[in-house]
């Protein structure tokens, strides 16, 4: 960005944060960023259609900001020109159709990549009407996991069946190792958020059992 004259030292961090948090890019090995499919779709939709999405326009505007700081350009004139370009470009959005890079398998709306407690995953932008979630596989939506097999064990909080969750969580930070997990949770989630550790016998450990063991 510095070589192309785009952005400023004070904005570099926020630019990277925006494109990363919105899943426009994927972080690979050694921190290198590569464009994600959704980022490529957005670029193709904007570039050549909107002047403000072109590198030349952005660099030109940066140069005008320098001229304002040096007293060689009038602030109002620069802002007015930028506003007119933005307003003219936005008026074209009514006729622009963008096909989702990753459509939801149930409703067809776009899927978006999010970061959760156990790593990245994909969810439907139609939430809360559509509650589809998919695992993340190297920056792409993976296949929906099969439902947990029935356990026949009822939740002491709400009476619904408990499901045993087993797997390996993805590292939250670089350098951390994957951690295995094994617990029971209520199938009534999100209305019931009950969770229980798995005992040595493979069954859930309820609170009253924990108290008895302590006594």
The confidence score (pLDDT) of residue 215 equals 34
For the entire predicted model, the pTM comes to 0.40
Q: pLDDT below 70 — which residues of the chain?
A: 1, 5, 48, 93-98, 171-174, 208-215
CA distances (Å), origin 21, targets 4, 18, 95, 205 = 23, 5, 27, 38
Domain residue limits, the chain? 9-95, 99-145, 146-215
For residue 157, give the nearest of 200, 196, 113 by alpha carbon.
196
DSSP-derived 3-state class of residue 85: helix
Phi, psi of 143 (to 5 degrees): -80, 145
Angle in degrees, CA 145, 196, 115, rounded to 5: 45
Query: How high is the pLDDT of residue 48?
Result: 66
CATH class assigned to 146-215: mainly beta
pLDDT, tens digit, for every residue of 28-45? Answer: 777 788 888 778 877 777
9-95 classified as CATH 1.10.10.10: no
| CA 47 to the chain's CA centroid | 23
Sheet holding 140-141, edge to edge: 111-116, 119-124, 133-137, 140-141
């Amino acid at each position: 960005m510095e070589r192309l004259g785009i952005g400023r030292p004070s904005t570099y961090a926020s630019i990277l944060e925006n494109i990363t948090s919105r899943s426009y890019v994927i972080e690979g090995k050694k921190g290198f960023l590569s464009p994600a499919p959704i980022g490529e779709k957005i670029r193709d939709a904007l570039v050549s259609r909107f002047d403000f999405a072109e590198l030349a326009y952005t660099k030109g505007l940066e140069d005008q900001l320098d001229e304002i700081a040096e007293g060689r350009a009038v602030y109002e004139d620069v802002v007015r020109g930028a506003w007119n370009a933005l307003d003219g470009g936005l008026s074209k959005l009514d006729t622009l159709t963008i096909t989702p890079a990753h459509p939801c398998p149930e409703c067809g709306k776009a899927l978006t990549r999010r970061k959760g407690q156990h790593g990245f995953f994909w969810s439907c932008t139609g939430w809360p009407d559509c509650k589809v979630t998919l695992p993340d596989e190297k920056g792409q939506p993976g296949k929906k996991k099969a439902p947990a097999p029935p356990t026949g064990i009822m939740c002491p909080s709400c009476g619904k069946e408990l499901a045993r969750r087993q797997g390996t969580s993805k590292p939250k930070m670089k350098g951390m190792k994957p951690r295995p997990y094994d617990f029971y949770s209520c199938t009534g989630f999100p209305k019931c958020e009950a969770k229980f550790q798995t005992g040595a016998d493979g069954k859930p450990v309820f609170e009253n059992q924990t108290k008895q063991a302590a006594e």
